[in-house]
Structure 1
Amino acid sequence: MKFLLSFIYENTKELKESSAALFLSIFASAVAGAFLSSSKEMLLIIPGLIILVPGATNMRGAIFGAVGARLGSAFHLGQIKSFGLKNDVVKTNVLSSAYLSIIFPVILASLASLFSTVLGLEGATISTFITIAFMGSIFAGSILLLVTFFIAFTAYGRGWDPDNVTSPLIASIGDIITLPSLLAAAWLTLRFSNFSDYFSLGVIGLLIILIITIILGKDSKTRVIVVQSSAVLLSSTVVSFFCTLHTSFYFFHS
């Protein structure tokens, strides 16, 4: 008992910061779940969209949670004091998160299309999935990038440990932002369905250009982050798809 009380006393600051962040993340996750449950109509209109949701939220949290963690490390090491694209740490994190937010929606869409076929959810083509995943990623990624830097710099400026607050907050805020972004992208895709094939081809072309740029470019720091993050993101995305198989099957066959 004395050891526990001593531990709490010595780590009061860290416990307060972490507890507050975790409480907010739990609340945000509940809000995201409520929003998802109220979106059944759109999920029924586009079969397979429900399969895309877990992978998209997981991807967003992983990408920007890692950005927050890297910023926290940079603050501790004194590599960054203020926001500015001339700072190598800021520039590298902006570029790497942008690259991953463009590359992985295509992979995500391909897997969603595959799993939809396995479950017998006909109706949505792979171009539809690519369009929704890409637009949703751009919408949510743009907001989350700003939110991530805001949280990290605010925490540091207030004397908080960024490691205690950035990851849980970013992951939960990512859930809240990703769901409306995906649904907005789905609505736009339905509204302009005649253009989804052309749009998806443009996305694939952009993907090829980015991959060539990453491989042949001189920015080795960004390349290392993208390559290392890709392995983790791919494995976690596949796992999230398998985890949602039962839910998706029950949703459409109940």
Structure 2
Amino acid sequence: MDVREEVTRIYRESIGILSVSLLGGLFAGTVLGSEAMREGFRQFPGLLLLLPAFLATRGNVYGAFGARISSGLHQGLIEPDIDWDRRLVNAVVASFINGIGISVVIGGLSWAILQALGRESARLVELVGITFLAGLLTSVVLVFGLLILVFGSYERGMDPDNLIGPIVTMLGDVFGVVFLYFAIVTIGVVL
């Protein structure tokens, strides 16, 4: 396959998911700009500080997860189905631990930074509770969403490496923001 054919194939595989990713980003921005979300930021000072880190780590953790799964598929180490496979289970468990763990760290660090700067902050238990719950929920959606999309694209003859970045970005932003709002509401009621 020559360079032109390869570039055309990559473009054809990527354009659809890039369009969906664009729409997902617009949706996430709409949710972030909503009055309900702004009220959550007022109710729990410090959320605005942790928001960029929370959303960025969705891409970092689950981008690595998707790349690991894609590499396993290309090497024939993982079969493209959700079944009990030691490598697949290890990758899923590691992603859950990393995704949830870094969410808790982000909540704690945001609180600590605001305390050190003498700025107003929600209580530590509130920030950590919100990031834990949102991190847990996004982990479930991102792990299983990525598995379905990566395996599905691979079985259709597409290269998952062309799709992982936009998929992770879109799913991480959309569900990260939605579940962050859900966690704000839940923690606001519980605590």
TM-score (norm 1): 0.69
Q: Which residue pairs with 1:27 in the alignment?
A: 23
Code of the aligned partner of 1:182: L
Query: How do residues 3-152 of structure 1 correspond to structure 2 at under 5 angstroms?
Result: 7-38=3-34, 39-117=37-115, 120-152=118-150
* Structure 1 contact 62–171 (Cα < 8 Å) conserved: no
Letter in 1 for 2:159: D
Give the distance between the partners of 2:172 and 2:158, measured in 1 at CA.
Answer: 21
Query: Which segments of structure 1 move beyond 6 Å, counting only runs of 4 or more?
Result: none
Query: Identical aligned pairs, as a percentage?
Result: 28
Looking at structure 2, the residues matched to 119 and 23 of structure 1 have their Cα atoms a distance apart, in angstroms, of 41
Residues 92-145 of structure 1, C-alpha deviations (whole Å, 9 max, x = no match)? 111101111232122111221123335654240111111111011111111111
Q: Which amino acid aligns with 1:176?
A: V
Cα deviation for residue 180 of structure 1 reads 1.3
> Cα distance 1:119–1:19, how it changes in 2: closer, same or farther (>3 A)?
farther
Q: Which runs of 5+ in 1 are unaligned?
A: 1-5, 194-254
Report what 1:240 is aligned to.
Answer: none
Moved more, 42-51 or 145-154: 42-51
How far, CA to CA, are the matches of 1:71 and 1:28 in structure 2? 23
Unaligned runs of 5+ in 2: none
Residues 80 and 155, structure 2, Cα contact 8 Å, conserved in 1: no
Pick aligned residue for 2:179 from 172, 178, 181: 181
What is the alpha-carbon distance in structure 2 between the residues aligned to residue 173 and residue 120 of structure 1? 35
8 Å contact 1:83–1:90 — kept in the other structure? no
Aligned partner of 1:158 in structure 2 is 156
When the two chains are superposed, the root-mean-square deviation of aligned CA atoms in Å is: 1.7
Change (3 A) 1:84 1:17: closer
Aligned counterparts of 1:180 and 1:65: Cα–Cα separation in 2 = 19
TM-score by length of 2: 0.90
Q: Which amino acid aligns with 2:17?
A: A
How many residues are paired up? 188
Contact in 2 for aligned 1:69/1:167 (Cα 8 Å): no
Q: How does 1:237-248 map to 2 (within 5 A)?
A: none
